[in-house]
Amino acid sequence: MIRRSLIGAGLTLALALTLSACSEREPQAGDQPEVLNFSILATENSTSLDAFWRPILDDMEKEIGIPVKPFYGSNYTALIEALRFGQTDVGWFSNLSGLEAVRRADAEVFARTFDPSGEDGYRSVVITGANSGLTIEDVLKCDGTLDFGIGDAKSTSGTLAPMTYLFAPKAIEPERCFAQVRAANHQANLFAVANGVLDVATNNSTAIRLQTERDVDNRANGQPTVSDKVKVIWESPKLPEDPIVWRKNLDPVVKEKVRQFFLTYGKGEGPEAERQRKLLAAISIGGFLPADASHLLPVREMEATEALINAQNSRDQAEITKAQAALDSVRAEREALDARAGEAPLAPVAPAAK
């Protein structure tokens, strides 16, 4: 378990209490909102996010005929709690936070993003300073000399993937491995490594590519850039793209309008479609495809794999048996889905070394 600050825990608790107090009743099925509140995952600060998302939300507002208001949570838990208490209606989530929203906030997955490059999926990465000389082997020495940046607790690429694929198989608990562990979003961790505040941090391939694209002008002018100051020293297997979710009891008429907006946005030919694709490309989204709960199966398998590895490390046979059964169940569900889709099954994660 990664230690979180008491301040962060207090803010999360305060937010939950505030949302609970503000919601006098649970949203009822068929309620048509006067305003559609759209939550956006906090991959970077809200000011820069709003610059990219506001034109897209304006387009959504025109399409569905209801004012659309953005909700930028300071962390994924804030987004989940806002959806749970009916303060938001639809949102862009990470896979892990989306799974938590389904479990705790009665949410449904109805769409998912795809990458503008055409590659379906992205990767969790570990970065360090470009001139640091550090390798992933140095990071895994766990000698307590390095300052480490990890993602939000509900971040797929910032926390779950590196825990599942890098640390848990080697029985490593980051808080016992590093001099300091700091949790932040991808942009904050990227800048912290680039500026030498952190020795190493988690991130993802999308955030790195976006920063590289944004650095083009500075690089052309001969100025030092953030992306030039970091290097990737580890990457995960491919991860599924992000889900778009809504609260299950959102008015069906509104649901259909929202669905049609996402599934048609940036599609087709002509200047309007090209304008929409340009807006999406600025946030590394190529468009949206229909999706359902099965989209979250890979992340459920990652979650179950990490639980099994942790049980193996504890040497508690009862916990190992329980975790293995849970993993087998999810894996069977995912393999059945892959078989129907004609896809090759993913290779299982190696168990922890004894």
Helix/strand/coil (H/E/C) assignment for every residue in 65-122: CCCEEEEECCCHHHHHHHHHCCCCCEEECCHHHHHHHHHHCCEEEEEEEECCCCCCCE
The amino acid at residue 141 is K
26/57 same-domain check: yes
Same domain for 195 and 281, yes or no, is no
Q: Would you place residue 334 in the very low, low, confident or very high pLDDT band (cuts 50, 70, 90)?
A: confident
> How many independent structural domains does the chain possess?
3
| Residue 339's pLDDT band (cuts 50, 70, 90) | confident
At residue 119, the pLDDT reads 79
Round to whole Å and give the CA distance between 258 and 226. 36
Structural domain contains residue 64: yes
* Same domain as 304, residue 155: no
Mean pLDDT of the chain: 87
Residue 354 lies in a domain: no
Residue 12 buriedness (CB in 10 A; 0-12 / 13-18 / 19+): middle
Give percent above pLDDT 70 in the chain. Answer: 86
If asked whether residues 157 and 209 sit together in one domain, one would say yes
Residues 45 and 105 reside in one and the same domain: yes
d(CA 344, CA 272) in angstroms, rounded, equals 38
Residue 7: pLDDT band by 50, 70, 90 thresholds?
very low
Q: What is the largest CA-CA distance in the chain?
A: 62
| Residues 107 and 246 reside in one and the same domain | yes
d(CA 116, CA 128): 26
Q: How many helices (H) and strands (E) does the chain have?
A: 14, 11
* Per-residue pLDDT band at 270 (split at 50, 70, 90): very high
Q: Rounded to the nearest 10 degrees, what angle do helices 186-194 and 205-214 cross at?
A: 60
Query: Residue 302 belongs to what domain range?
Result: 297-341
Is 297 a residue whose pLDDT tops 90? yes
Q: Give the list of residues 6+ apart from residue 285 with CB closer than 8 angstroms, or none.
A: 113, 114, 115, 116
Q: Are residues 152 and 99 in the same domain?
A: no
Instruction: Let me know whether 231 and 257 are in one domain.
Output: no
Nearest to 199 by CA among 215, 221, 177: 177
Task: Tell me the pLDDT band of 344, cut-offs 50, 70 and 90.
Answer: low
CB contact at 8 A, 102 and 236: no
Residue 92, pLDDT > 60, answer yes
Mean pLDDT in residue range 322-330? 94
What pLDDT score was predicted for residue 307?
A: 92
Q: In this structure, is residue 156 part of a structural domain?
A: yes
My answer on whether 89 and 227 are in the same domain is: no
**Lowest mean pLDDT, pick from 55-69, 140-154, 210-224, 265-279:** 210-224
- Pairwise CA distance, residues 295 & 244, whole Å: 11
